[in-house]
Structure 1
Amino acid sequence: MSDPDGPLPAPARTLVRSPYSDGEWHRLHPLTPLLRGGLTLLVIIGLIVANLRERLVEFLFPAFTDLPPGAIPPDPVDFLFANNLLLIAGGAALVVLIVLLVLFRLSWRFHMLRIGDDDVEVRSGVLFRTHRRAPLDRVQGVNLTRPMIARLLGLAKLEVVGAGLDANVKLEYLSGKDAEAIRGDILRLASGRRLAAGTATAAERSSLARQAAAAVGSGLQGLVDGEDLSDAEPESIVRIPLGRLVASRVLSGSTLFLIALVVGIVVAASLSTLWLLFTVVPMFLAFGAYYLRSIARGLRYSIAPTSDGVRVTFGLFTTVSEIVPPGRVHAIEVRQPLMWRPFGWWTVSVNRLSGRSSTDTSTDQFAAVLPIGTRDDVERVLAILAPALTGGEWTGVFRDGILGPVDDDPYMTTPPRARWLRPFSWRRNGVLLTDEALLMRRGWVWRSLSILPLARLQSVGVQQGPLARAFGAATLTGHVIAGTVQTSVGALDRDEVVRVFERTARASVMAASTDRSHRWAG
């Protein structure tokens, strides 16, 4: 279907792998209404079944329902039978079902997407129309998600991550192959690479029934054979053994809270037990769900470099595949919880634009790019997340930053007069400015190292409270995209902080002026 204002210039065809990437308006997969609205029908049916469960048990298992009159409470079905309204109720239910199907169908017909040279657009809504546009030069990444039910139907959804609050454009749903192809096309266009004209033609669109049948067949076959991403993703550079994954969740901070909770229960059980049923049991169920969810999320973890950025895949039941293009990582943190230290395990997280609203709790799931790994794993992950770091800078990252401090420590640390402000961590508390990044080291119990690329640094600040002022200390803060990475270090020498502040300001301006990673193919 063409836009009444005329189609956009068609993107180049040589590198286009999807028929959707031709500058024209296209509808999404015909099974989309089933996933977006059809699940609502399943919920309604479930509520009906739950409310009529006695009637169903009586009908299916009459031998077990030979009860005296009045033992089974009356339900709406009794009223319909008694007043001969069964046909009327059935007709009304049929009318409601038809109306819902028509609404789902109309919603699908009015939900369209267009991929042009400069942006991705989505139109939706029947009565209240919505038109969303994501400029390709502001794309921060493209996430591909395969929920469990969608995988059974061979479908997936794409989320084009924008550069603003609630700026993402969602494409729900597409066939698995189309979703992969569209993601590749969007990233190629976002990289600054124009898709030059060629002889490739778009695949003919088959009937809706054939598209649906092909998607379901592909989904079922994918569950048997596994997902084939060999043409789009090289082998993962990190493998997380199941034993290590489970142990990392057991040896986490939440386990300490769980142990404290158990101790509290033992003490309180001698006084009262009634409140345990309403408070403690749900807590245990929540902890169990958390452990299972976190373990299932890491079972299919992989991370690998691609031509369009770093590709991170995770999730057993709902599979999420995210590509972070070059230049979209604003901060990196390597962190080691206390109970992981004997095993030499670390976790790596990043700050990046997510395009979601501040109330979206799913934002944090994209922060950890390495849930758990050894030093070798961390080295491989940092090499693809921060490829601009030179050989000399890696010494400041690993030997002096992650594992340090050493005798010839190059970091600026807490001066003797202010050590009481950091009584345990004053030796690890430090800052180091390199040619490409500002490194911030902190923590004695929970060790961490933050890497702030200078080209992504928005500003740098110096803060000094009354206590710090009395001891000539100050805090240095790097301002980047908000996230889980800590970007400040306190209790440093005030004069040294001012000098690092001035050097960092000049270096970040120079790095930003020469950076071209936002258009990585240009």
Structure 2
Amino acid sequence: MSDNPAEPPVAATPHDTVPHSWPPQPGVDTEPRQRLHPLSPVLHGAKSLVVVIAGLSWSTLSRVGFGWFAAMVAVLALGATVLSVISWYNTGYHVVGRELRVHEGLLWRRTRAIPLERLQAVEVVRPLLAQLTGLAELRLEVVGGGKTEAPLAYLGVADAARLRERLLALAGRVAQPSAPDAAVPSTTAGPAPAVVPGRPLHAVRNRDLLVSQLLTPQAFLLPFGVAFVVVQFLTAGSWSFVAVASTVTAMAGVLLQPIRRVLDDWNFRLGRDGATLRVHNGLLETRAQTVPLERVQTVRATWPLLWRVKGWLRLRLEVAGYSLAEADDRNRPDRLLPVGDLPTAATIVAEVLPGVRLDALALTPPPPRTRWVHPLGRGALGAGLFERVFATRSGLLTRQLVIVPYARIQSVRVVQGPVQRRLGLATVHADTAGGAGAAAEDRDVAEAWALAAELTARAHAARLR
């Protein structure tokens, strides 16, 4: 039973399975079962083809020859496409009352009932192949789900937008109609930036995004790595294919993170639609995400070392109800500002946490004896209690400021390590729902216990408002 008396009863969890002939409830409007877009099997088959080719590898090609290799790929791709067609034919969805029901399976049929009361967000995701064919995928975030629900791949862009707004409205998250992406991006010009519905807050310049990723350790040290490889090649006289391939692979791995961030945050747009943040971003894979403000647990501001030259920082969120165990962190709606200056960040934080000024949070440092634990980084530590939030600061090379509203604090802990006990220090942790929370590191023991008591009292008072 829910602890919240105002919360409506939930009939099923997102992962419940029910008989295929599960009858609709009496008096509940039903609608015909809808199928996914007819091109869905083609896209799934194309994805399977890529996996097949990668799995066969170059060693298979060298052993069997190009002809047999092409025949193997064709047979496996055909089989994957046939299976995708069968899966598409037996997959359907419809809305029954306040539930989205997804039917799938041939031999073992299954119906997933997703209670819309538990729905947090419906994301419109468009991978590259979906953009080329004018399709989109719906991914559902549900409270208590073990992972991001992705039952509807693929739909037409207009159909996906309409269904998304309908589900959000039924879930009680009224939203303005979404502006769909361009149906099919032009092959000669880049797609036009999507317009985020609601009130626009900020749009990140792609030039700043590129420069920010050039000011990372990976990009900064890459020329030195290339020079080292060239010197080794010239002194050794020649390299084997394995050595060259290994070197190229290692360099690609180093550059993967900044390149991925550029692709993910391209054309980043942030808007506010009532009590919901709307985020649109992505180049090869576009995403339209919603973030309910009442689910925001913490706001994190990070100043990487090389970004301080330009006065840049980035903002991230922790949102309750989303899948922290998701293997792909791109599914998490944690992006608030990929790169920007302090005035821009302060404006955005004031929208997310009303009454909080990012540029006016004066934090107190730990006692001087903390230098025995942090000989160089004592000045980077700090903590403070403010009217609405608890804030902490940490990090020597990469500075980080964590802001936690009192109403989001679930528990408070005082922790002492062996060195801290000898120095009379302790760390105070303010834990949030499913997140890392905030930690005031290395405070005086008496101050730590007083801080913990004050945090507990303020959290209790904030939840009663």
Aligned identity (percent) is 25
Q: Which has the higher strand share?
A: 2
2:135 corresponding residue in structure 1: 155
**Residue 316 of structure 1, CA deviation:** 1.2
Q: Distance in 1 between the 2:449 and 2:125 partners?
A: 46
Q: Distance in 2 between the 1:244 and 1:8 partners?
A: 56
Letter of the 1:187 counterpart: L
Q: Distance in 2 between the 1:8 and 1:163 partners?
A: 27
From 134, 139, 148, the counterpart of 1:168? 148
8 Å CA contact retained: 2:212, 2:307: yes
Q: Distance in 2 between the 1:106 and 1:433 partners?
A: 59
Change (3 A) 1:263 1:414: farther
Q: Which has the higher contact order (CA 8 A, sep 6+)?
A: 1
Change (3 A) 1:456 1:223: farther
Q: Is residue 34 of structure 1 aligned with residue 42 of structure 2?
A: yes
**Residue 118 of structure 1, CA deviation:** 3.5
Larger Cα Rg: Structure 1 or Structure 2?
1
Is 432-441 or 145-154 further displaced after alignment?
A: 432-441
1:124 corresponding residue in structure 2: 104
**Residue 236 of structure 1, CA deviation:** 3.9
Q: Distance in 2 between the 1:278 and 1:493 partners?
A: 54
8 Å CA contact retained: 2:205, 2:267: no
**Residue 219 of structure 1, CA deviation:** 3.1
1:487 corresponding residue in structure 2: 438
**Residue 356 of structure 1, CA deviation:** 4.0
Letter of the 1:219 counterpart: V
1:509 corresponding residue in structure 2: 460
Deviations 1:9-58 (A, max 9, x none): 658xxxxxxxxxx666432222222222354357769999x99999xxxx
Deviations 1:420-475 (A, max 9, x none): 32333323422222332211122343222101122222212110111111121110
8 Å CA contact retained: 1:161, 1:355: yes
Q: Is residue 179 of structure 1 aligned with residue 160 of structure 2?
A: yes
Q: Is residue 253 of structure 1 aligned with residue 217 of structure 2?
A: yes
1:5 corresponding residue in structure 2: 23
Is 236-245 or 449-458 further displaced after alignment?
A: 236-245
Change (3 A) 1:39 1:249: closer
8 Å CA contact retained: 2:279, 2:289: yes
1:443 corresponding residue in structure 2: 395
Using the size of structure 2 for normalisation, the TM-score is 0.79
Instruction: Please state whether the residue corresponding to 1:358 is helix, strand or coil.
Output: coil
Change (3 A) 1:459 1:260: farther
1:104 corresponding residue in structure 2: 84
Instruction: Please state whether the residue corresponding to 1:373 is helix, strand or coil.
Output: strand
2:184 corresponding residue in structure 1: 219
From 415, 436, 460, the counterpart of 1:463? 415
Instruction: Please state whether the residue corresponding to 2:45 is helix, strand or coil.
Output: helix
Structure 1 residue runs without a partner (length 5+): 12-21, 55-71, 78-88, 195-214, 401-408, 515-522
Q: Distance in 2 between the 1:27 and 1:246 partners?
A: 41
8 Å CA contact retained: 1:415, 1:492: yes
2:207 corresponding residue in structure 1: 243
Change (3 A) 1:499 1:252: same
**Residue 227 of structure 1, CA deviation:** 6.2
Change (3 A) 1:377 1:434: same
8 Å CA contact retained: 1:133, 1:169: no
**Residue 258 of structure 1, CA deviation:** 3.5
**Residue 418 of structure 1, CA deviation:** 2.6
Change (3 A) 1:152 1:350: same
8 Å CA contact retained: 1:152, 1:223: no
Q: Distance in 2 between the 1:7 and 1:26 partners?
A: 19
8 Å CA contact retained: 2:291, 2:333: no
Deviations 1:457-497 (A, max 9, x none): 221211011111112111011212455x6622311111111
Letter of the 1:251 counterpart: L
Using the size of structure 1 for normalisation, the TM-score is 0.71
Q: Distance in 1 between the 2:369 and 2:259 partners?
A: 48
Instruction: Please state whether the residue corresponding to 1:238 is helix, strand or coil.
Output: strand
